[in-house]
Structure 1
Amino acid sequence: MNEMRWSYKTGGIPDELFHRGKVPMTKAEVRAVTLAKARLNDRHLIWDIGAGTGSITVEAALVSAKGTVYAVEKEAEGIALIKENSELFGVDNIAVIQGTAPEALFSLPAPDRVFIGGSGGNFRAIMDLVFQKLVRGGRIVINAVVLETFIEAVEIMQEYGFTDVDITQVSIAKTVDLGRIHMFKSHNPVFVISGEKP
């Protein structure tokens, strides 16, 4: 890995620098917004639920270099990619947990920050446990790509009384080189929902 290609600290490391496979990955621009909404410091204990390739895990670990990121992923390919990307970017403060949430979360220490990128259909149960274990003043950031998850996330956050709730829709279009011309190709919009536990 050519360290000079990513020796900056801003969020949104280029997608092509990660090992990807066939596992879904949060795109760089969405990742940058997601990390900004988490308001990380260098000592946070972080859960990344539905970690996929580990792109958010890696970037969070780079920021919270004196903390720990627990990357929870149920798919074996995702687990392998998280480990590969952790090694690729030289971060050793990542604990990789293979399992399905919320069951895989029960034994983890209380987090300061939580990212939810995938729930496997268990969103309510995951949110219930996250609210119980998240430290007071801790922040959660949810990336929702389907309307049902977005609606459920907002309802649950209101139900639990999260404060400083922010809902941002991120719509990205990037140019594709078609030879003599360039055309914009849109990515699916993502809802980034964040809030703080009272």
Structure 2
Amino acid sequence: MTKEEVRVLTLAKTRLAPGQVVWDIGSGTGSLSIEAALLTPGGTVYAIEKNTLGIGLCRENANKIGVDNIIFIQGEAPGVLEKLPDPDRVIIGGSGGCLSQVLQVAMSRLKSKGRLVINAVTMETLTLCTAALTGKNCDIIQVNISRAVPYGNYRMWRALNPVYIITYQETGVRSQESE
């Protein structure tokens, strides 16, 4: 599950609005899908997860909260993306080893002025994303979070793994090469 602090930053970078179509690729237990659904009334969030357990937990969590604008899709991206409507926003939390292909499809289908936000925890994912987005309208932040935890009568800081949040903004202007 995406940690709360990373979830807040990811959602802020995504800039969700009512009526949007959102793809959450690698939705896991659905923490981002559910929050995205709450922030896009009248829109639709497609929670895409390859693992049966993950999609079941996502559905269960959405039902507990009463969110009804999520469509759960069990399957692997990029294959399952083909039949979905073009997205206003794409969140990538996992890609099952197919990140290059997922990025290619997501970027080619993203609506004008759409946003793509990727959470990366490995240097390899960061490297792949920066290579794919070189020369494009892209922003990268690294998030380092520590939480105070009990240590006897004291508290000490316990660091969480750093997360890179990569944001791509579709400018709405396509080059002639991509047409």
Instruction: Give the TM bin, normalised by the shorter chain.
Output: over 0.9
Aligned pairs (5 A) from 1:61-76: 61-76=37-52
In structure 1, the residue matched to 2:151 is 178
Distance between the aligned counterparts of 1:178 and 1:84, measured in 2? 35
Spell out structure 1 runs of 4+ moving beyond 6 A.
Answer: none
The CA deviation at 1:179 is 3.6
Deviations 1:45-82 (A, max 9, x none): 00000000100000000000110000000001101111
In structure 2, the residue matched to 1:3 is none
Distance between the aligned counterparts of 2:17 and 2:133, measured in 1? 23
The CA deviation at 1:178 is 2.7
Deviations 1:95-138 (A, max 9, x none): 00000111111111100000000011100010111111111110
The CA deviation at 1:157 is 1.4
In structure 2, the residue matched to 1:57 is 33
In structure 2, the residue matched to 1:193 is 166
Partner SS, residue 96 of structure 2: coil
Aligned pairs (5 A) from 1:38-187: 38-158=14-134, 161-163=135-137, 165-187=138-160
Structure 2 portions without partners, runs of 5+: 172-179
Distance between the aligned counterparts of 1:157 and 1:136, measured in 2? 17
Q: CA RMSD in A?
A: 0.9
Distance between the aligned counterparts of 2:136 and 2:35, measured in 1? 25
Aligned pairs, number: 171
In structure 1, the residue matched to 2:11 is 35
State the TM-score, normalizing by the size of structure 2. Answer: 0.93
The CA deviation at 1:162 is 3.2
Distance between the aligned counterparts of 2:133 and 2:48, measured in 1? 22
State the TM-score, normalizing by the size of structure 1. Answer: 0.84
Distance between the aligned counterparts of 2:36 and 2:131, measured in 1? 27
Distance between the aligned counterparts of 1:154 and 1:178, measured in 2? 39
The CA deviation at 1:151 is 1.1
